[in-house]
Structure 1
Amino acid sequence: MKRFASFFLCLLLVFALALTGCSNNATPSNPPAGESENAEPADSFKAQITFNGSSTLAPVISAIATNFIEEYTTWDKVDAGFPAENIAIYVSAGGSGAGVKAVLDGTTDFGMLAREIKDEEREKIRDSKEFKLGIDALTISVHPENPILSIKDDLTTEELKKIFAGEYMYWDELDSSLPHKEIVVVIRDLSGGAHEVFQKAVMGDTQVRADAIQSPSMGALVAKIIENKDAIGYASYGMVNQNLGSLVPLKVDGVEPTEDNIINGSYKISRPLIVVKQGDLTPEQQAFMNVIQSDAGAAIIEDMGFIPVR
């Protein structure tokens, strides 16, 4: 497990990140012969790229965008056939479902998802282009001083169902040796991709208790667990890596959420990190996507605690 160096990026609760180049706009100069033959006319060029969706994937795209802008600043430095306009990359988080909706509404270029794309979504997105960037998992995590750790570090799927459904309301209902303290269940908001993954992998047709604390982002969910010794929630594998020592991930059915177990599928609560677009990418969008999918992009994904797809 790796810790992301720029820790502050990982605790953003609301993303409305506008990343722009610092130089002044310049009049596009004529590129060297042969380099601009296939470039679109400058007046059709869009210097701005937008991303919307998963709060788990948002800081990853933001970090890659920051590096991209710091390296190039203006588009002509990315490709001599592009105009000398400031690079602007906007990343906003509202959940995986919101990302798909924004793509369909035409209010964003790319949707960010921390789950599989549903068949009905794929049918609605005309000529969809999908890019799998990495793998995440939902770890069942608790505070380091949670009472359960005094007796076990493993929960069965059936025990998880009873805890998250509210059949077990107090820790001593799980095990009589535990204190009579209320179990504080923390989940993502019901529109988030994480909740859909957890519902499918663990709960099935059983619904999560109505009074569970719903968090607007994965960062907010993790913060709730860190501040409450009696809390339990499904924390992103990446967020656990970013908060080593502050969270303790439990085994599920005897399987530890390690990188190997997530990749080979033995740890069952996993999910892809996906970017989706409607239609073909423009040259400038493709240039940035090339960086996201490069070794440098994979290194950032890994540094932030996720498992990159290489």
Structure 2
Amino acid sequence: MKKQLSLLLGGLLLASSLVACGAKGSTASTTAAASDKETAAESNTAKEGESKAEASSDSSDFKAQILFCGSTSLYPIMSSLASSFTEKYETWDKVDASFPKENISIYVAPGGSGVGVKAAVDGTADFGMLARDIKDKEVESLGKDYKSFEVAKDALTVSVSSKNPNADKLENLDTETLQKIFDGEYTKWSQVDSSLSDDEIHVYIRDLSGGAYEVFQKAVMGDKEITPSATQSASMTELATNVANDPNGIGYVGFGAFNKANKESTVLKEIKVDGVEASEEKILSGDYKIQRPVMFVTGKKITKNEQAFIDYVFSETGYDAVVANGYIPAFTK
């Protein structure tokens, strides 16, 4: 009976958290549980914490549950760290003896960068996750206690399926050509180059709430609009899958998602942009222009237990989680 009640209460809390995060029908949401055996009983509970920042010493500010909301790119990193943090400690007093003996509950919900910032501004989430630069007006809205924590560096790789009949010939595309492909002026590969096949081009993008859409618009499209016929994807993983499965598809797949998709076998081929490849070296040097930070932000004072989790995120364990998800860590071990 206790387990059933715990499952019901956990489900209700998760549902309310997702509403606060603006999660929609096509947007997946999962949380990590306190331990493998308790996953079902604790109803998808996940764990996350804080980075090195000012923490409140007032025990009345302690809150056993922490909610991260936003970027689908940061989501798998934070979700895995929430899970491992919870499995390691289970209750907050095991993290720090001064904390109460309450179960650790850290929820991680995807919804897009814009949704994440809004949730942090509104206070419906403790932390908003972004995969783009934060805007000045968003910083202003978050107020005097604004803090940001960059977890990883990412880039958008212009990718086609390895099954694309033109894959061997598609080595480099300049910005102007990319604009013509993504705005719909070029509808067939033969328009890109006469040596390519006469097959139709299928454009894949992230949905408009995702940070990737804004990054690509700023770095490549400028004042041109992406064609309305482009297929939108609810997450970067979905975008990578869509491009990989379509022999005539092209899309801007995140560096992390690209690496994960190609982990077992090569299903995506990257195309250089203006002669520059999306390699770790070129991303870190700034030579590859379609890149972005992956981070989380808050506009409130950070509590001591939130601080403890953020320290965990920026530990060696966190570093390894960033690498395992195909991204470039923004911090050292």
Superposed pair shares fold, TM > 0.5:
yes
Q: What letter is aligned with 1:63?
A: S
**Shift of residue 21 of structure 1?**
2.3
Check if 1:216 corresponds to 2:237: no
The question of whether the paired residues in 2 share the 8 Å contact of 1:15 and 1:91 is answered with no
Give the structure 1 partner of residue 18 of structure 2: none
Of 135, 138, 145, the match for 2:156: 138
2: distance between equivalents of 1:162 and 1:208? Answer: 9
Q: TM-score, normalised by structure 1?
A: 0.88
How far apart in 2 are the matches of 1:147 and 1:158? Answer: 23
How many residues in Structure 1 have an aligned counterpart in Structure 2?
Answer: 285
* The 10-residue stretch of structure 1 (69-78 or 170-179) with the greater mean CA deviation from structure 2: 170-179
> Identity across aligned pairs (percent)?
48
- The answer as to whether partners of 1:17 and 1:91 remain within 8 angstroms in 2 is yes
Identify the residue that residue 70 of structure 1 maps to in structure 2. 87
* Structure 2 match to 1:177: 195
Partner of 1:267: 288
The answer to whether the 8 A contact 2:148-2:295 is kept is: yes
* Conserved? CA contact 2:150–2:293, under 8 Å: yes
Q: Which residue of 1 aligns with 2:330?
A: 309
Residue 103 (structure 1) aligns with: 120
Q: What is the CA–CA distance in structure 1 between the aligned matches of 2:284 and 2:115, rounded to whole Å?
A: 27
Partner of 2:21: none
CA distance in 2, matches of 1:88, 1:212: 38
**1:202 is matched with which residue: 206, 213, 220?**
220
Aligned position for 2:141: 124
Q: Which amino acid is the alignment partner of residue 140 of structure 1?
A: V
1:130 and 1:277 in contact (8 A); partners too: yes
What amino acid sits opposite 1:59 in the alignment? Answer: P
**Pairwise mapping of residues 280-291 of structure 1 onto structure 2 (< 5 A)?**
280-291=301-312
Aligned partners of 1:231 and 1:154: how far apart in 2?
A: 16
How far has the Cα of 1:40 moved from its partner?
4.1
Structure 2 alignment gaps of length 5 or more? 1-25, 43-55
Q: How does 1:39-50 map to 2 (within 5 A)?
A: 40-41=58-59, 44-50=61-67
Distance 1:15 1:289, change over 3 A: farther
RMSD between aligned residues: 1.7
Partner in structure 2 of residue 18 of structure 1: 31
CA deviation after TM superposition for structure 1 residue 210, in Å: 1.1
2-structure distance, mates of 1:292, 1:199: 30
Task: Structure 1: give runs of 5+ residues left out of the alignment.
Answer: 1-12, 26-37
Q: Distance in 2 between matches of 1:104 and 1:81?
A: 29
**Alignment check: 8 A CA contact 1:15 1:58 kept:** no
More displaced, 255-264 or 295-304?
Answer: 295-304
Q: Deviation at 1:212? A: 0.6
* 2:96 alignment counterpart: 79
Superposition misfits of 4+ residues, deviation over 6 angstroms: none
Shift of 1:298: 1.2
Amino acid at match of 1:21: A
Check whether the contact 2:71–2:210 (CA below 8 A) recurs between aligned residues: yes
C-alpha deviation, 1:133, in angstroms = 1.0
TM-score between both structures, scaled by the size of structure 2: 0.82
2:105 is the counterpart of 1:88: yes
